[in-house]
Amino acid sequence: MGKKINSGSATKNPKDIRIGISYIMNHPRANCLKFDYSTDLDRFTRTYEHVKNHPAGADAFRKKMHSILMDLFLTDAPIDEYFFTIGMHYLVSFHLFEAVFNSKPNTGLGFIIEPIYDDYEFIKFTSTDYNTWEYLVNRRNAA
């Protein structure tokens, strides 16, 4: 069932709320420098819960996802659903992400991340609302 919005009596279904993620890679051997994906809050929340409750713990899971993500970047893997899923799992393993996500439940969000290719513990991270993220992506793609 959807979540009730505080203003008015409308409800918002988590499948109607968008989450955008942009990846930027500055590794000297990576051919894919920037790409963007969007998903719904329902799928994103399920991914977050999966990582949060992973038996190995978020830090061990982050290390594994970072390794796979860097391999995908460096082998010119297709930018597809698998690529995005690995990147999303990597993003949600960070405590900084968790703070942003939990502070704005049931809202559209946008994330711009730059994985550090030789260090799985750090990430350049920017968050915004979904509309701003979408505007920035459209502006960058138009240039």
Long-range contact set of residues 127-132: C-beta below 8 Å, sequence gap at least 24 = 127/97, 127/100, 130/17, 130/18, 130/19, 130/20
Q: For the segment 68-115, what is each residue's pLDDT rounded down to a tens digit? A: 988 888 887 888 999 999 999 999 999 888 889 889 888 899 999 988
pLDDT in tens, 105-119: 888 999 999 888 888
Q: 99: which residues sit within 8 A by CB, 6+ positions away?
A: none
Per-residue pLDDT tens over the stretch 39-58: 999 999 999 999 989 888 88
Residues in the chain: 143
